[in-house]
Amino acid sequence: MHCPFCRHSDSRVIDSRTADDGMSIRRRRQCPECGKRFTTTETASLTVIKRSGVVEPFSREKVMVGVRKACQGRPVTEADLALLAQRVEESLRLTGVAQFETNDIGVAILPHLRELDEVAYLRFASVYQSFDSLDDFEAAVRDLRVKRGGSGAPVSASNSAAADGE
């Protein structure tokens, strides 16, 4: 790792600690040439293959963008979205696979979104599970009611939400 101050080609690790709920390691480094200190962050990379074939790093921010659209008008905060994106990343890492397709990300989002907001979940699911009829919505709503253990407020769904449409 080059020193960001003097560009010296080497640096010494003086401290390492796990950060960000175990998903990354921060290393405190010191340049033997100029003596300045800096920090590097190391994470195992997850990648996403887009439908176009382009491979890019997994991004929590993109998860939040996709889910935020489905959450329009719903009582969901930015903190909720950030936590959801973090949980999605954790669940992806738990699969033991490092490369995913865009659709896999959507599927990984669904169970977390269902816990967060049922209406947003239905909007999102309608895109990712390609709902193409009212029957699909009815089946999903029925499924939600079963998981919730019986009756509940009626859930309306809108097909207008779109996930990250790449």
Please identify, using beta-carbon distances, which residue of 29 and 62 lies nearer to Zn ion. Answer: 29
Contact window for Zn ion (CB under 5 A) among 29-37, 51-59, 107-115, 122-130: 29-37
Is 5 a residue that touches Zn ion (CB under 5 A)? yes
Say whether residue 37 binds Zn ion (CB under 5 A): no
Candidate ranges 28-36, 53-61, 83-91, 124-132; the one touching Zn ion (CB under 5 A): 28-36
Binding residue (CB under 5 A) for Zn ion from 1, 23, 26, 33: 33
Phi, psi of 139 (to 5 degrees): -65, -40
- Kindly state whether residue 139 participates in binding Zn ion, applying the rule CB under 5 A: no
Q: Are 98 and 57 in contact (CB under 8 A)?
A: no
Return the range that interacts with Zn ion (CB under 5 A); candidates 15-23, 27-35, 39-47, 146-154. 27-35
Category of 161 on φ-ψ map: left (φ > 0), alpha (ψ -120 to 50) or beta: beta
CB closer to Zn ion, 5 vs 162: 5
Closest of 80, 76, 48, 44 to residue 62, by C-alpha: 48
Residue 55 binding Zn ion, by CB under 5 A: no
SS3 letters for 15-76?
Answer: EEEEECCCCEEEEEEECCCCCCEEEEEECCCCEEECCCCCEEECCHHHHHHHHHHHCCCCCC
Residues near Zn ion (CB under 5 A) = 3, 5-6, 8, 31, 33-34
